[in-house]
Amino acid sequence: MTQADTHPPVEISARLTPAMRSVLQAMAKAARPPLHTLTPLQARAAYAAGADVLEVAAPHLARVEDFTIPARDGYAMPARLYAPSLPAPDATALPVLLYFHGGGFTIGSIATHDGLCRALSVQSGCAVVSLDYRLAPEHRFPVAVQDAWDALVWLAAHATDLGVDGTRLAVGGDSAGGTLAAVCALQARDAGLPLALQLLFYPGCGAHQDTDSHRQFAHGLVLEQTHIEWFFGLYVDPADRTDWRFSPLNAPDHDGVAPAWIGLAECDPLVDEGVSYADTLRHAGVAVDLEIYRGVTHEFIKMGRAIPEAQIARADAARALRHAFGLNP
């Protein structure tokens, strides 16, 4: 979890579920240093230390395997495969979701999202490949975008080496990872690479954080304005913020991209741009399933032990994957 710097206003706190309020109160009581006051390395360590605090116990899977995927410059990107069953000669290979973790392009890893990826694999019945793309500030925009795309292209070509079905692919991610997934869906459309689904948990979609929700939920709700400014200052030059690979809302068109499942948190600075992206896709004729989970904040999807809506959202996302891949309900 990221550390909220302030308490939410009373009128905002009243909109939160009791469980969400309790989580925020516990975070405030812990009084950890605000994220933006740390170095990137310190922030990564702090985020990793708290990543599993509110997670449910990690479910067992038949396959959990670490491997690497080559980036265009030869860098070996760490990746992890999750699968609920072992490959067998007489069995149909599993479809696969390529998942990009969140963390403002600056923090987060395969390890911080291990529980979430395990849950998605178990509940959907598909394989999940989680990617450690390179982070800022060591690797600024567009390196993360390039890493994500390189991983998708490699997976489509080499899925059989992993014992999964490269003709049944989806992309997904949360927060910054949701941005990468949305961008990959646009690139896949342009490259003629079919995707069954783009699975987006509260993605960043806009060039500038100037919506009503950014103003309304700027303080005290896990992801704060100061965090966003810190993340993006480390990741992207101001001149590149209108690039659609940073802001998928700015893509020239959205026709023909993969169907989308979008899960948003009501009390999240990013909720308005998530709704705008859903509307943009729908206006382009793309099938969209939009869910807004009431009374919860950014990052709730990784709070399954404390926030019931996290379990509901995971089940909804898994259902969307099963439907997209034609798996049994």
- Residue of 242, 316, 324, 252 lying closest to 287 (CA atoms): 324
CA distances from residue 48 to 108, 111, 174 in whole angstroms, order as listed: 7, 8, 16
CA distances from residue 119 to 14, 36, 180, 256 in whole angstroms, order as listed: 30, 30, 21, 29
What is the 8-class DSSP label of residue 238?
G
240 given a catalytic annotation? no
175 given a catalytic annotation? yes
Q: Which of 109, 121, 130, 175 is catalytic?
A: 175
Q: Which residues pair with 69 in a beta bridge?
A: 77
Crossing angle of helices 114-124 and 308-325, rounded to 10°: 50
Report the alpha-carbon angle 233-102-182, nearest 5. Answer: 90
165 given a catalytic annotation? no
* Region of 202 on the Ramachandran plot (φ > 0 left; ψ -120 to 50 alpha; else beta): left
Compute the distance between CA of residue 147 and CA of residue 230 in angstroms, rounded to an integer.
22
Give the containing element (helix H, strand E) for 260.
strand 260-267
Q: Which of 5, 114, 268, 289 is catalytic?
A: 268
Phi, psi (rounded to 5 degrees) for 217 = -115, 35
Cis peptide before 142 (omega within 30 of 0): yes
Residues annotated as catalytic are: 175, 268, 298
